[in-house]
Amino acid sequence: MNAPAETVRGGVAGWFEERLRISGLLAALLHVRIPVSAQTYYLGGISLFLFGVQLISGTLLALYYKPTADAAYESVKYITSVVDFGWLIRSVHHWGATLMIASVGLHMGRIFVQAAYKYPRELTWMFGVLLFAVTILFGFTGYLLPWDQKAYWATTVGTEIAGGVPLIGDALLNLLRGGADVSDATLNRFFGMHVLVLPLLLAGLVVVHLTIVHQLGLASPRHPEPRPVRRGGPAQPVDEPLKPFFPHYILDELIAWFVVLAALVVLASVLPAGLEDEADPLITPQHVKPEWYFLSVYQLLKIVPRTIGIVAPMIAVAILLLLPFLDRNPAVAKRRRPLALSAAVLAVIGLVALTVWGAQS
């Protein structure tokens, strides 16, 4: 008997198609059309690319890194000075973290400005906020791993702040440190979180995030999504021209990835990741400063009472998470969202001012 027409294909592609029947899935994934007015600036894809860079460079570092208080510092020194291109891989991982936090932050900014968090994308946004939180946790847990003075003391201060969280502070401090102080136990926990728990969590969240993005298609910054008329009536039609996602958008995205990769290698080569003296729990350095993305909280804690400095960022995260439900205005055009946009501008000015102040103090 003859095979069905669609399975009679030659070559390697045909061989796999007969066994996996994947062409239907690929067509469903790729042949999506997106609103012509949608401007993503490729930021979601760039965040995804940087996650890939972090996975690859982190895996290479893990081939030589030793996660114990006795050996961590020496192993990082060995990676930097003996292993071929070890310094470059470590610096790419260092700058990749900074660029990833920046690109996730900018991606969130573009979603906000274009009002793409509104109906029906509330869940896409909420999973995004979780992704942002996990990305920051990557930075926090990774910072301790070189086990130098900066790493040790910044983590001492950072975990102390976590210890100030109302009600659960003590338990959280103990959970993070694995004891009263930052020690070998802390390093083991942070390493486990950094290389196993967080990557799995981020990968799972990305899958959910992108599945919802695919299901809903990209938002139009010109028209609010038409809500279906109650009792099953048809949705109002929207006259929005569409463009194909594949190959046009994907090829542009690839170009963006190459540009980011080039920037990453230049940054890593010109400003390689540093290493201070080995951690010494008995010598407190004069100035303990966190990474740039924690400077605003660090500075806030210096100028307001401690409880306010700890609770205020938590409230900010809760507001961010619940934003699609707090902002009841259905409009997406910028001129019809003066309140949301001015509140965001003020928040960004405050964040930047605290960060700059924190960097200088």
Contact residues for ligand HEM, defined by CB under 6 A: 38, 40, 43-45, 47-48, 51, 104, 107-108, 111, 116-117, 121, 124-125, 128-129, 131-132, 135, 206, 209-210, 213, 218-219
For the CB of residue 253, give the shortest distance to ligand HEM in the complex, in Å: 8
Closest CA to 324 of 135, 131, 116: 116
Kindly tell me which of 38 and 182 has the beta carbon lying closer to ligand HEM: 38
Identify whether 247 is preceded by a cis peptide bond (ω within 30 of 0).
yes
Kindly tell me which of 93 and 121 has the beta carbon lying closer to ligand HEM: 121
Q: Cα dihedral sign for 89, 144, 318, 341? A: negative
For the CB of residue 139, give the shortest distance to ligand HEM in the complex, in Å: 13
For the CB of residue 158, give the shortest distance to ligand HEM in the complex, in Å: 21
For the CB of residue 154, give the shortest distance to ligand HEM in the complex, in Å: 23
Q: Which residue is nearest to ligand HEM (CB)?
A: 128
For the CB of residue 53, give the shortest distance to ligand HEM in the complex, in Å: 12
The residue behind tokens 């540093």 is: 274
Would you report the helix, strand and coil content of the chain in percent, each value rounded to 5? 70, 5, 30
| Tokens, residue 327 | 């902002």
The C-alpha atoms of residue 195 and residue 181 are separated, in whole angstroms, by 22
Kindly tell me which of 89 and 218 has the beta carbon lying closer to ligand HEM: 218
Kindly tell me which of 40 and 355 has the beta carbon lying closer to ligand HEM: 40
Kindly tell me which of 48 and 89 has the beta carbon lying closer to ligand HEM: 48
For the CB of residue 326, give the shortest distance to ligand HEM in the complex, in Å: 14
The C-alpha atoms of residue 250 and residue 45 are separated, in whole angstroms, by 9
| Tokens, residue 271 | 């400003």
Kindly tell me which of 73 and 257 has the beta carbon lying closer to ligand HEM: 257
Kindly tell me which of 182 and 264 has the beta carbon lying closer to ligand HEM: 264
The three-state secondary structure class of 313 is: helix
Burial class (CB in 10 A: 0-12, 13-18, 19+), 272: middle
CA of residue 178 relative to chain centroid, distance: 26
Kindly tell me which of 146 and 324 has the beta carbon lying closer to ligand HEM: 324
For the CB of residue 141, give the shortest distance to ligand HEM in the complex, in Å: 16
**Cβ atoms of residues 150 and 277 within 8 Å:** no
Burial class (CB in 10 A: 0-12, 13-18, 19+), 241: exposed
For the CB of residue 94, give the shortest distance to ligand HEM in the complex, in Å: 18
The C-alpha atoms of residue 289 and residue 42 are separated, in whole angstroms, by 32
Q: What is the CB-side half-sphere exposure of residue 329 using CA atoms within 13 A?
A: 13
